Amino acid sequence: MSSQLMAGKRGLIMGLANDKSIAWGIAKACAEAGAELAFSYQGDALRKRVDPLAAQLGSDTVLPCDVGDEASIDALFAAIKEKWGALDFVVHAIGFSDKNELRGRYVDTSRANFTMTMDISVYSFTAVAKRAEKLMQPGGSMLTLTYYGAEQVMPHYNVMGVAKAALEASVKYLAEDLGKDGIRVNAISAGPIKTLAASGIGDFRYIMKWNEYNSPLRRNVTTDDVGKSALYLLSDLASGVTGENLHVDAGYHVVGMKAVDAPDI
């Protein structure tokens, strides 16, 4: 499938934690299409999981990066510059908040967690773009991940919803700034997927069931669904697409209300 769409392209995948990560679905799709990949991970604990996954895709470039630390981001891009001298695409699959505030009411969000959540889940994409643009030529592409909770209230998504709304706005401003140099910046709004970032979330099973029942495709999406759409946005197939937010959610976001006589009720 799309065997050489990314031949000769070198990309950085940020946010791989394990083989359930959305970053893994995206990395597999890009590698299968011929891309050469580098990975960044957060914290030594993840290194032992990421190394074998990277090797599975023919990559031995696995670098540490805590996106909350400017020096760490600088060191990551210095290593990329040293190894490749250039970069064709970047995937930012990073988001984090205090899970104790991803339950209950949004109004009870603390200033500390609001600030940390915005720093890690929003500003980090801008910080990465600041470094990446220096290594990119026309034709370069950046991608981040968002969620429908940015657009409509999703129970208990709380401050992450406010953060994703800011992230989606930042994609448009970055698209304008980097478009002048021929670099595209887009987002994928993925439906709920059972990943590490989804674990520890109360009633996540209910959220998945609700999405399955109310999506036009009557199913949840997978990291492979997201990977294929990411491949499109990162490749030259999307040469005219920037500042976009592509919903890969089985169509959930288009449904206002189901017909009461729907056959599966």
Ligand X SMILES: NC(=O)c1ccc[n+]([C@@H]2O[C@H](COP(=O)([O-])OP(=O)(O)OC[C@H]3O[C@@H](n4cnc5c(N)ncnc54)[C@H](O)[C@@H]3O)[C@@H](O)[C@H]2O)c1
Ligand Y SMILES: Cc1c(CN(C)C(=O)CCc2cnc3c(c2)CCC(=O)N3)oc2ccccc12
| Residues with a known catalytic role | 147, 157
Among 39, 114, 147, 252, binds ligand Y (CB under 6 A): 147
For residue 79, the partner it binds in ligand X, ligand Y, none, with Cβ less than 5 to 8 A by kind, is none
Structural contact between residues 92 and 124, judged by C-beta atoms closer than 8 angstroms = yes
Under the binding rule (CB under 6 A), the answer on residue 128 touching ligand Y is no
Q: Which of 233, 231, 226 is nearest to 249 (CA)?
A: 226
Closest CA to 95 of 145, 37, 150: 145
The closest of 69, 160, 80, 89 to 118, measured between CA atoms, is 160
The span from the CA of 122 to the CA of 171, in Å, is 10
Closest CA to 77 of 120, 26, 116, 38: 38
Interface with ligand Y includes 220 (CB under 6 A)? no
For residue 118, state whether it binds ligand Y (rule: CB under 6 A). Answer: no
Does residue 11 bind ligand Y (CB under 6 A)?
no
The contacts of residue 23 (CB under 8 Å, 6+ apart) are 13, 14, 15, 16, 17, 91, 93
Which segment (78-86, 132-140, 177-185, 191-199) binds ligand X by CB under 6 A? 191-199
Binding partner selected for residue 201 from ligand X, ligand Y, none, CB under the kind-specific 5 to 8 Å limit: ligand Y
Return the residue of 21, 97, 144, 242 that touches ligand Y, per CB under 6 A: 97
- 156 touches ligand Y by CB under 6 A: yes
Per rule CB under 6 A, is residue 179 in the interface with ligand Y? no
d(CA 227, CA 225): 5
Residue reference for tokens 């294929």: 228
Binding part of the chain for ligand X, among 14-22, 101-109, 173-181, 251-259 by CB under 6 A, reads 14-22
Which of 11, 15, 140, 192 is in the footprint of ligand Y by CB under 6 A? 192
Q: Measured from the CB of residue 218, what is the shortest distance to ligand X in angstroms?
A: 18
For the record, the structure tokens of 23 come out as 């970053």
Q: Choose between 87 and 154: whose C-beta lies nearer to ligand X.
A: 154
Taking contact as CB under 6 A, which single stretch among the options 26-34, 74-82, 141-149, 212-220 is the one that binds ligand X? 141-149
Q: Of these, 94, 135, 154, 166, which contacts ligand Y (CB under 6 A)? A: 154
Q: Which helix (H) or strand (E) holds 63?
A: strand 62-64
Q: Is 66 in the site for ligand X (CB under 6 A)?
A: yes
In angstroms, rounded to a whole number, what is the distance separating the alpha carbons of residues 218 and 114?
34
Residue 182: count of CB within 10 angstroms of its CB: 14
Contact residues toward ligand Y (CB under 6 A) are 95-97, 99, 102, 147, 154, 156-157, 160, 192, 197-198, 200-201, 207
Contact residues toward ligand X (CB under 6 A) are 15-17, 21-23, 42, 46, 65-68, 93-96, 120, 145-147, 190, 192-193, 195-198
